[in-house]
A and B are shown apart, each in its own frame.
Chain A
Amino acid sequence: MIQSSETTLAPAPVEVQKGWGGQSVKRKEDKRLLQGEGVFVDDVKRHGMGYLHFVRSPYAHAHITRVDVSAAEAIDGVYGTLTGEEVAALTDPFFQISSVPGANIKDFSLAVGKVRYVGEPVVAVVAETRELARDASELVEVDYEPLAAVVDARVAQDSDTPVLHDDAGGNLMWSGLYSWGDLDAAFAEADRVVKIPELHFHRFNSTPLECDGALVEYNRGVSQWTIHTNNQFPGFAAIMMGPAMKVGLDKLRFVTQDIGGGFGNKITSHPQLVVCCLLARKLNRPVQWTEWRTDFHLSMSHGNERWFRDTEVAVKDDGTLLGFRTKALDDAGAWLRYEPLGGVIWAQVTPGMYRWKHIELEFTQVATNKAPVSPNRGYSRMQHLWFTERVIDIVARELDLDPVEVRKRNYVRAEDMPYTTPNGCVYDSGDYAAMLDLALGLVGYDSMEARRADAKERGKLLGVGIGSTLDSGTNNFGQSRLINPELQFSGNNEVATVKLDIFGEIVVTLGTTPQGQGHETTAAQVVADILNCSVDDVHVRAGHDSYWNSHAGFSGTYASQFAVTGLSAVKGATEMLAAEIKKLAGAVFGGVPAEALELADGGVRIKESPDAFLPFMACGAIINANNAGLPEDLDVTLNCRYVYRPPFEVPDVETKMGNLTLTYACQVHVAVVEVDPETGAYEIVDYAAVDDCGKRINPQIVEGQVMGATAQAIGAAVHETYEYDEDGNLLTPNFYDYHVPHALDMPPLATGAIESPSPFTPLGTKGMGEGGGAGIHAVCAAIQDATGQIVTDSHNPYQRVWRLLQEAKA
């Protein structure tokens, strides 16, 4: 049952902003999308293009003993093929982020000699039509010598388990011990040690409705590829692809326009893009690749599956949390791609929202014969935050304390902000307890016992659960050195260019690759406020083109950062432009100082004599086309590029201390479920999502992100899972078996907001949108409350709930 949502603002005062910022300006990108005039990657066509189809492995683990493409190539209309052998000859293996042993694996864009998961691309075929490419791919002969598969990370390192990557000497890819504070002292001080043998965070992803794709053109004259794609982090794709293809990054031009959802899942398409590039060059024609849904489920970017084992929690009898130790075992699937960054990203939120000081986590990542993982909305923090939340509710149950009280007793307090965590991260601002009160109020927590009784009368078990999480945004890429000290990455950056064109058009170019986050709108709001004009006068270019020069090493849209990195770059560039406009006008007006000028009504004027007015059109025309007689030393281009660089230090690789992210948006979600005790089926009957992401440039867009993250969390908690059988076959390869929420599945939703501006960002904003997976935990906790049984898995389909109820009976 779906019900409309209402936003409730916190009683805490929310600063009313002047101007465009802070208003729910209607999105500029909507018109084209509503008319079917967006340009998504599969909409891009070129004369003479060929369609690419991948031959994929039917085995989870096998040697490739023979590949024969002759029958496929013999078909009329087939343009050509590419095999793993060719790839190995033409390219180097992709650069590995990992230190040893993961550093030693050899990852090519097609399987070379061996396949390691069902669906792995083995051969690519290009033909005149989509259908023909698939027909021909069926004629490619591949002989396999099947090997035993490993699908359970818990046995991956056993001596009798088959090894995926001989180069790594085993299935261990990366491990590291994180230890902060004094664990021995914490456990000595504890009244109780709560032991949790095993918790499991399941494998799923956000399944953007548009799958991956590309249209790649090769310009032979200048040896340069133009890659029209929906990859959401071209900067990362470039640094992976350039060295592998042995070309400079300038030879790889990335172009995106509209992207049909990303959620992190479209970061790691670089192997497929390399195949498209090699074939575009080999066949001397544009190559088009569209990934279909089953391909996506089989092979693209699953979220990290993680086990938390042998957890011990040191607590006082009153529920004060002192510390914990645990062993995190992460299942990377067959290739590392973006991994093992998940092995450190979680540390951005090491203590969750709590004040415990002593934490030890042994992180181990292994390879299995499953699809490779990659970032997924809430990447790596979500798994860890689910774990910390699970610990809270299990501790509360063991100590017979109220989960609300345990949270409030241990939350980082508003007066502690900015708060430095045991590992040196700095939580910038927030009032977690106030958010919890707001969320509980939205679901009518005070009357919950009456509702519980009412549900019982109807034969249902009611449960209430809380999920409180952080959405850490704006990465310090220096944290990659905790994975591999050799890596030369640190800090972060984003670029924007703002210019006045010849007719006075205000043109904004972003480095980001939005996938629905409304960047064109929010960027225009920031620009309009500075130039004192209408958002309608600001033209933000749709999409991304690395040739626009609005592109930095970390450009892209990922990891909750646009409101900080993107908009700060826009702010910086626009302020530069405003200063230049004043400089120009000052010269035109005959030496008027900038302080005496103001921007207004689409131009610049002298404050004291507003009739002295130079419209933007005149400014643009003078600089671009009518500049004779301007003072020689007038340093004005009206084309301003600004790189925003957040203030970061390189973390200490020995102590693993450092500030890993700049901002911490916060979510508190509360779910109310009713369980049918006979079947285990349950319905979420009430839901509240409260979010604090600092200053909101566009509250409606922010709320939209909160809603989307909520829906994805509910889907993951209840139905969405990538399940494999023991032979490594994916059992949920499509939307028939992988059930994502439909309109009828959505609960009534109440949203709430608090604004705690970040003291660390130019606009007081915080990155947001990932939602931290609060909803996954809220549902788990509600099921624990309803069934009275400890929930140990992040995924609770009806069958598992029924099983819990059976255990309760027994």
Chain B
Amino acid sequence: MDVTVTVNGTTYERDVEPRKLLIHFLRDDLDLTGSHVGCDTGNCGACSVIVDGVLVKSCMLLAVQANGASIETVEGLAEGDELTPLQLAFNEHHALQCGYCTPGMLMSATALLRENPSPSEDEIAKALQGNICRCTGYWNIVEAVKSVAK
């Protein structure tokens, strides 16, 4: 089926099998490998992206369902080499180790901060509950998000 999506401002048109998950479409068809796969049951959130303003796990959505949508992924956060305050905070607070969960964490935190620019620690933890990190224990991630809260 023909699918047209706009990802980080660029429009792509591809012919895809209906069975293809959005995460595979992004990674394999569009070569946007920043979003990752960490599980096969929708638990880990490493594939989190923002579709038409809504944070979703791209492993639980078919690519064809995203037809016509505007998608934001980790690759679109920074302006060129200019990291966003959130990305800089992750570096400052050592909120990443292996970096595999990081793209999904950043998308979840970005979605949170848009909706609630001044989240409490508890609200941050709730916003990240769908993103698994196995390296950091989350403390520094919460710290990083808190540091950019207004």
Chain A residues at the B interface, C-beta cutoff of 8 Å: 1-5, 24, 26-27, 29-31, 33-38, 40, 42-43, 45, 130-131, 206-211, 258-263, 290, 292-294, 515-518, 700-701, 703-704, 707-708, 710-712, 734-736, 740-744, 746, 749
B88 CB to closest chain A CB (Å) equals 8
CB of B86, distance to nearest CB on chain A (Å) = 9
Assembly CA distance A36 to B36 (angstroms): 9
Q: Please tell me if the beta carbons of B143 and A736 are within 8 angstroms of each other in the complex.
A: no
Which residue from A5, A27, A130, A293 sits with its C-beta under 8 Å from B139? A5
Asked whether B52 is an interface residue with its Cβ less than 8 Å from the other chain, the reply is: no
List 26 A–B pairs whose Cβ atoms lie within 8 Å, in order of A's numbering: A2-B121, A3-B121, A27-B94, A34-B96, A34-B99, A35-B78, A36-B35, A42-B33, A42-B37, A209-B134, A209-B135, A258-B100, A261-B100, A261-B135, A262-B98, A293-B39, A516-B96, A516-B98, A704-B97, A704-B136, A710-B137, A735-B39, A735-B41, A740-B134, A741-B138, A742-B132
B83 touches A31 (CB 8 A): yes
Contact yes or no, B41 A736, CB < 8 A: yes
Say whether B121 contacts A42, CB under 8 Å: no
Assess the B121–A4 pair: CB atoms within 8 A: yes
| B-side contacts of A208, CB under 8 Å | 98, 100, 134
What is the chain A residue whose CB lies nearest that of B84?
A34
Complex interface bits, B55-87 against A, C-beta within 8 A gives 1, otherwise 0: 000000000000000000111011000010001
Q: Is the CB of A4 within 8 A of B138?
A: no
Q: Is B128 an interface residue (CB 8 A)?
A: yes
Check B134 against A30 for contact (C-beta < 8 Å).
no
Q: Is the CB of B125 within 8 A of A746?
A: yes
Q: Is the CB of A743 within 8 A of B27?
A: no
Q: Which of B46, B83, B122 contacts A209 (CB 8 A)?
A: B46
Is the CB–CB distance between B34 and A259 below 8 Å? no
Complexed CA–CA distance, A664 and B14 (Å): 56
Q: A735 touches which one: B101, B106, B132 (CB < 8 A)? A: B132
Interface class of chain A by DSSP: loop
A708 in contact with B87 (CB, 8 Å): no
Contact of B33 among A5, A36, A211 (CB under 8 A): A36
Q: Give the residues in chain B near A35, CB-CB below 8 Å.
A: 34, 74-75, 77-78, 83, 87
Task: Report if B150 contacts A (CB, 8 A).
Answer: no
Question: What band does the interface of chain B fall in when counting residues whose beta carbon is under 8 Å from A?
Answer: 35 or more
CB distance from A280 to the nearest CB of B (A): 19
- The distance from the CB of B141 to the nearest CB of chain A, in whole angstroms, is 7
Taking CB atoms, residues of chain A closer than 8 Å to B121 are: 2-4
**B140 interface residue per 8 A CB criterion:** yes
Query: A40 to B27, alpha carbons, bound, how many Å?
Result: 12
Residues of A within 8 A of B97 (CB): 261, 515-518, 704, 708
| A37–B80 alpha-carbon span in the complex (Å) | 12
**Are the C-beta atoms of B99 and A38 separated by less than 8 Å?**
yes
CB nearest neighbor in B for A3: B121
Closest chain B residue to A713 by CB distance? B137
Task: Choose one: B33, B83, B128; the contact of A743 (CB below 8 Å).
Answer: B128
- A30-B90, A711-B136 known; A4+B43 contact, CB < 8 A: no
Give every chain B residue within 8 A of A36 (Cβ-Cβ). 32-35, 73-75, 103
Beyond known contacts A34-B74, A262-B98: 14 more, CB 8 A cutoff: A2-B142, A5-B140, A27-B91, A30-B90, A30-B91, A34-B106, A36-B32, A36-B74, A210-B38, A293-B40, A704-B136, A708-B137, A711-B138, A746-B139
Within B113-132, the residues touching A (CB, 8 Å) are: 121-122, 124-126, 128-132
Q: Report which residue of B31, B44, B78, B100 has the largest number of chain A beta carbons within 10 angstroms of its beta carbon.
A: B100
Whether A30 contacts B137 by the Cβ 8 Å rule is no
Residue pair A210, B100 in contact (C-beta under 8 Å)? yes
Report yes or no: A743 in contact with B35, Cβ–Cβ below 8 A: no
Asked whether, in the complex, the Cβ of B96 is within 8 Å of the Cβ of A33, the reply is: yes
Q: In the bound complex, how far is the Cα of B40 from the Cα of A4, in angstroms?
A: 31
Q: Which chain B residues lie closer than 8 Å to A701 at the CB level?
A: 94
From known contacts A36-B73, A36-B74, infer whether A744 and B125 are also in contact, taking CB-CB under 8 Å.
Answer: yes
Q: B17 contacts which chain A residues (CB < 8 A)?
A: 131
Q: How far, in Å, is B27 (CB) from chain A's closest CB?
A: 7
Contact: B131 with A37, CB < 8 Å? Answer: no
CB-CB < 8 A to A261: which residues of B? Answer: 97-98, 100, 134-135
Residue of chain A at shortest CB distance from B88: A34
Q: How far is the CA of A40 from the CA of B96 in the complex (A)?
A: 15
- Find out whether the CB atom of A209 lies under 8 angstroms from the CB atom of B140: no
Decide: B40 and A292 in contact? CB cutoff 8 A: yes
Evaluate contact between B34 and A743: CB separation under 8 angstroms.
no
Distance in angstroms from B78 CB to nearest chain A CB is 5
Which residues on B sit within 8 Å (CB–CB) of A749?
Answer: 137, 139
The chain B residue sitting closest to A748, CB to CB, is B139
Return the contact of B36 from the options A210, A262, A263, A703 (Cβ within 8 A): A210
* Shortest distance between the CB of A46 and any CB in chain B (Å): 13
Complex contact B139–A2 (CB within 8 A): yes
CB contacts (< 8 Å) of A292 on chain B: these are: 37, 40
- Indicate the member of B20, B44, B139 with the most A CB atoms within 10 Å: B139
Q: Does B92 contact A (CB under 8 A)?
A: yes
Interface centre among B17, B37, B78, B146 (most CB of A within 10 A): B37
Shortest Cβ distance from A677 into chain B, in angstroms?
26
Q: Report A694 CB to chain B, min CB distance, Å.
A: 20
Are A743 and B129 CB-contacts (below 8 A) given A35-B77, A261-B135, A711-B136?
Answer: yes
Distance (Å) between the CB of A526 and the closest chain B CB? 19
Instruction: Decide: B43 and A736 in contact? CB cutoff 8 A.
Output: yes
Q: How far is the CA of A209 from the CA of B39 in the complex (A)?
A: 8
Q: Name A4's contact: one of B19, B44, B90, B142 (CB within 8 Å).
A: B142
What 0/1 pattern do residues 1 to 35 of B give for CB contact below 8 A with A?
Answer: 00000000000000001011000100110011111
**Contact B83–A707 (Cβ < 8 Å):** no
Contacts of A744 in B (CB 8 A): 125-126, 129
Q: Which of B40, B83, B98 has the most CB of A within 10 A?
A: B98
Q: Are B100 and A260 in contact (CB under 8 A)?
A: yes
**When the two chains form their complex, are residues B99 and A258 in contact, meaning their CB atoms are under 8 A apart?**
yes
Chain A: which residue is nearest B101 at the CB level? A209
Q: Which residue of B lies closest to A709 (CB)?
A: B137
Contact B41 A293 (CB under 8 A): yes
| Known contacts A208-B98, A707-B136, A710-B137: A743-B40 contact under CB 8 Å | no
Min Cβ gap A536→B in Å is: 14
* A712 vs B132: C-alpha distance when bound (angstroms): 12
**Given the complex of chains A and B, what is the CA–CA distance between A35 and B96 in angstroms?**
12
B133 within 8 A of A: yes
Give the CA-CA distance A35 to B107 in the complex, in Å. 11
Distance A741 CA – B125 CA, assembled complex (angstroms): 12
A1–B99 alpha-carbon span in the complex (Å) = 24
- Give the residues in chain A near B38, CB-CB below 8 Å: 209-211, 260, 293
Residues of B contacting A263 in the complex (Cβ-Cβ under 8 angstroms): 134
| Contact of A37 with B91 in the complex, beta carbons under 8 Å | no
